[in-house]
Amino acid sequence: MPGMTTTPDRNRVQLPGISSRAYEHPADRSALVALRSLSGFDTVLKQMSGLISERRLRLIYLASAVRTSDTQFRALHDMGRDAAYILDLPRIPEVYVQQDPKVQAMAIGFDDPFIVVTTGLLDLMDAEEQRFVIGHETAHILSGHAVYRTMLDILTRLATRVAWIPLGYIGLRAIVAGLEEWHRKSELSADRGGLLVGQDSDAALRALMKLAGGSRLHEMNIEAFLDQAREYDTAGDVRDGLLKVLNLLGTTHPFAVSRVAELDKWRRGGEYDAILSGTYPRRTDDSSAKITEEIKAAARSYRESWSQSQDPFIGVLRDVAEGAVNAGERIFNRFARRDGN
């Protein structure tokens, strides 16, 4: 790898040529495979968003934040290098530290993406938790999530502009809601990628728990927090289930308790260990990924989630949702027969 002359600071497993499909949530992966198959889609989207904005943002952070290096925030700089090494990125993203008490990290850019973390996050997280966060953002970069998140931003702004047109707003709002659901699943994907980078499940779960409870780690317990997740899934009646759905409207990140539960479930399910042992899809095979297969995988994922959920509201909607999934599969299969994919 050009410019990569060092290895991680401890014996972590490198994942040569790993495809982002290895860790992406099925609902995220199916959307990405479909969008990547649209020739020129990302080029059009870049033109819509304006590449000048990416250059402008980098200049802003270059002027107002601290860029990590061998002499500035060296530990964080090394984490960025190590994350790129483990996920086998062709280029090491720059990492910037911004003075801000908010706990936040983000990956920015299309062609030359970079990572920004706030001092609030550094104050909250210990070293291995920070490594998970840097891995999370690096996974976003490998997946190319920034391109498709821009689409969500554009449509969200457009929806507010046509809010005075009832039918136009309703249609756009439905699209935005679907994109928000994808965005939440992309966060679950990046959590998995962060775990693959840090390869420390305790640190990953701690980092997510701290997003809910703050720095007083001695006052928290991960098993108790997982119990909260189970209670959140099962508590209440149909009214509570409806409220949980409504609480997600307008959000792009799952709630912390759900993220901890989902990451712990994925780790225990065997995929994590399989990837570390070398069993994972390679980037060289991305072009041969079948849209229909990914759609079916997403449908299976939702079915499993519905069948395992104890939420009464999910039980009421299960048959309706199952019908929608089956209809979606028929539509995609029809298109697949036309284009031979």
CA distances from 322 to 170, 306, 311 (A): 23, 9, 16
Residue 115, beta-bridge partner list: 95, 107
Instruction: Please tell me which residue in 54, 94, 129, 137 is annotated as part of the active site.
Output: 137
Averaged pLDDT score across all residues of the chain: 77
Count CB atoms within 10 A of the CB of residue 278. Answer: 10
Task: Indicate the range of 1-5, 70-74, 179-183, 218-222 predicted with least confidence.
Answer: 1-5
How is residue 6 annotated by DSSP? -
Size of the chain in residues: 341
- Distance (Å, rounded) from C-alpha 282 to C-alpha 20? 8
**Residue 137 is a catalytic residue:** yes
Can you state the angle between helices 74-86 and 127-143, rounded to 10 degrees?
A: 50
Q: Region 79-103: what's the mean pLDDT? A: 96
Report whether 4 contacts 82 (CB < 8 A): no
Q: What is the pLDDT of residue 297?
A: 55
At 96, give phi and psi (nearest 5°): -115, 145
**Tokens for 46?**
């870049």
List pLDDT tens digits, range 138-149. 999 998 887 666
pLDDT band at 93 (very low <50, low <70, confident <90, very high): very high
Its pTM stands at: 0.76
